[in-house]
Amino acid sequence: MENGYWIMEYGKVFFGYLFLMFLWPSVVFGGHLKNKTRTYRFSFCVTTQVVIINTVVLGLGLLHILTRQAVISVFYGVFLAALVKRVVSLKPWETWKKKPEPARFVWKNMEYKIRERLLVIRWVTREWTEKYGLLAVVLVFGMIYFSYGAVQVHSYGYGDLYVHHEWIYGLTEGNIFSGGVYPEAMHCFIYCLEALFGIRIFSSLLFLQCIHVAVFFLSAYLLMREVFHWRYTPVFVLFLFVTLDVVSADQVYSLTRLQITLPLEFGLYTQFLCALFLLRYLENSSRLIRKGKVSKFYWDENLFLFTMSLAASLVVHFYTAIMAFILCVSFVLFALKKILQKEYLIPLIITVICGTTLAVSPMAGALASGIGFNYSINWAVNMMDGEESREFKSQEEGTEDAGQAASEAEKNENIPQKVLKWAAGKVSTIYKDGYAELYGEKRAAGILCIIAGVLLFCGFAVWRADRRLKEISRRYPQIILFTFFVMLIYTAALIGLPELISDARFCSVGHLMMLAVIVMPVDILFSLLAGTFEERYMNIFSVFAMVGAYVLIVVSGNYRGFLFYELTKYNSVVSVTNSIIDTFPENSYVVVAPTDELYPVIQSGGHMELLSFVKNIRNKNYELAAEYIFVYVEKRPILYAQAYFFEGPSWIGEEKYMEIYWDKYSKKYPESGASQAPEIISGGVSEEEAGKDLKEYQNPWLEYTRFENRIVLESKAYEWCQRFQEEHPSEMKVYYEDEDFVCYYFRQNPGEFYNLGMK
């Protein structure tokens, strides 16, 4: 029954996502998209629609008319109007006016149409299977891999999601930027899912990214189609991304974030599309011809999609815009001669200004109305000095910060020697703390060998002036340059540069592009063989190569491992909360629980902090004004936000990442811990613990998260429930109980509330 509920919730989010992200723009802009390519239609939907939703929701908020009814009127109204317009354009009444044909001709005509349709379906299915069958398999497997955690664990998975839930709740109340000005496109999207389909915000936050990760894969695939010569090479890169293991704690952390509904991860796909359409614009653009006049500048649809991709990156997260800029620079540097021509440069500058203006206008309007920036903006700016990263690195290695003092020998060195030594030190740091840190010594050496070999191949192609070889390798240097930029960003704090993107958040994209570098020899091989063998044989070779790579990865012990969630509560707690919401009338109950249950119940009932409750029951006269009172108690208090690594079938992954991750991050989070499912780090309630005093911290949240304190808190709550049940045996009942968690509840007379104070 419980699994059925979560399958239904996943299905709701899935179909709501398909409607809002793809069906709505496909119908509303059907005329514009009618004769466009599949790449254009896909890119248009995933970029333009995100910008539209963000602009509409925030625009309504700035006008103080943001309500569910307004959102329904705008989106359903426009959709239905477009649908009616398309039906009318078909002119069905002209068919009705025709003289009816004899029945035998009607049936015969219908038979021909059915046969014709079946032949078309057969042809299309065969074409799609040949071209996109492998891609579909990889996409489905990737979605399963990144969805598995949400199916197994029903916590949010990451602490930031409580803040994001708060901001989305603010939208439901008509308040935009309730936490301060911050890119809110993801929040607006989830709010529309709630407003248009009634999908719970909790379910959207739990499952949205698991579905949306397919857009990340497809966007990367489209960019790599422009890079590689052999059409199956991009699929091979994605295949390695979802099957080959990683050996770095930061890679595990970054991949874990990729499965959680966070703004940065929600917008990662935009950087691939920015680079894709900028590249296409520089290569394929043409001058517009209007009324017989040829324009002075180059304008085309690729420039439009570049603008929308840029705007989408900005409205989702500022980090995605920085990533998009770096990826675009990697390609632009090889086309400087063309891009500096005014025919290209001026349209590009204009579109960048337009895209940026479109993205930041709602934020500017909010700032003008008196809403300040969110605190995380200042956090990101302060993190750029890299001090925290340097301290963590020193702590990890158990050494002091290098470079505090120079030896006498160093002081006597001349300037060229100092410059050479300085450069060698930076290169050594990039290799040791970049390549070797992320991939290990052996893999790092192999990667550098592949890079050297590919660059030699590119040089050989240029030297021989071989058109075919140059065509195969013309995009390789751009991707290699981008991976070098990734290493610069990753090691920026350690080599004295500003840390543009903190916390290893660039690693998932960097790893994907590094895999693209690794498979370049494969792309060269299959591209050269394509001139020798027929295409159908090359397709078979590609399939066998992928199957062989899969077998080799599994047999060699390099298969992907399971990721983790930050465990904050038991699954049974989530089930109980959902049961209460579904069963009891709105605003008739109060849930006494940690802050984790605040936003799931806030739209239908009340919430009382367990910490405040335990402190208040010391008073002789203490009441809670609600008909039903539910008290949540962990009989086995969990170590809060422990890194809980999943378990599951071997074809999805292996249990291998806990030690890799925690060996490093235990130094950063000494108060936390890591566990491998099904084991959970937990304690136990007892009378002895209940008799201890709660430690008080300047930050009250620590009274929940500190393990020893949480055990005392839950023990005191459990003791109170036992006493209250003894005093009111006919009223105090158990709503749910298992070996880890128990939920007590009682019903009160609205005119006479119980005294909950300890006697």
- For 423-445, write each residue's pLDDT tens digit: 888 888 889 988 999 999 999 99
At residue 270, the 3 state secondary structure works out as helix
Give me the pLDDT at residue 288, please.
66
Report the amino acid identity of residue 121.
I
Residue 50: pLDDT band by 50, 70, 90 thresholds?
Answer: very high
Q: Are 340 and 299 in contact (CB under 8 A)?
A: no
Q: Are 594 and 673 in contact (CB under 8 A)?
A: no
DSSP characters for 146-202? HHHHHHH--S-BSTHHHHHHHHHHHHHTT-TTTTSB---HHHHHHHHHHHHH---HH
Report the amino acid identity of residue 243.
T
Which tens digits make up the pLDDT trace of 97-107? 555 555 555 55
Which residues, including other chains, have CB under 8 Å from residue 181's CB and lie 6 or more apart? 363, 366, 367, 371, 372, 373, 374, 377
Distance CA 488, CA 601 (A): 45
Q: Are 475 and 516 in contact (CB under 8 A)?
A: no
Distance CA 258, CA 689 (A): 39
Segments in 317-341 forming alpha helices (H): 318-332, 336-339
Q: Tokens 């050989």 map to which residue?
A: 460
Spacing of C-alpha 47 from chain mean position: 15
Least confident of 383-387, 579-583, 698-702: 383-387
At 598, list the tokens: 């605040």
Of 315, 316, 303, residue with least CA distance to 361:
315
Which residues, including other chains, have CB under 8 Å from residue 335's CB and lie 6 or more apart? 282
What is the torsion angle, in degrees rounded to the nearest 10, for the CA atoms of residue 269, residue 273, residue 279 and residue 283?
Answer: 150
| The pLDDT of residue 465 is above 70 | yes
Q: What are phi and psi of 596, to 5 degrees?
A: -55, -25
| The pLDDT of residue 408 is above 70 | no
Give me the pLDDT at residue 753, please.
87
Percent of the chain whose pLDDT exceeds 70: 89
Q: What are phi and psi of 163, to 5 degrees?
A: -65, -45
Distance CA 266, CA 320 (A): 9
Of all helices (H) and strands (E), which one includes residue 607? strand 606-609
At 30, list the tokens: 């059907």
At 222, list the tokens: 């489209």
Task: Provide the mean pLDDT of the chain.
Answer: 87
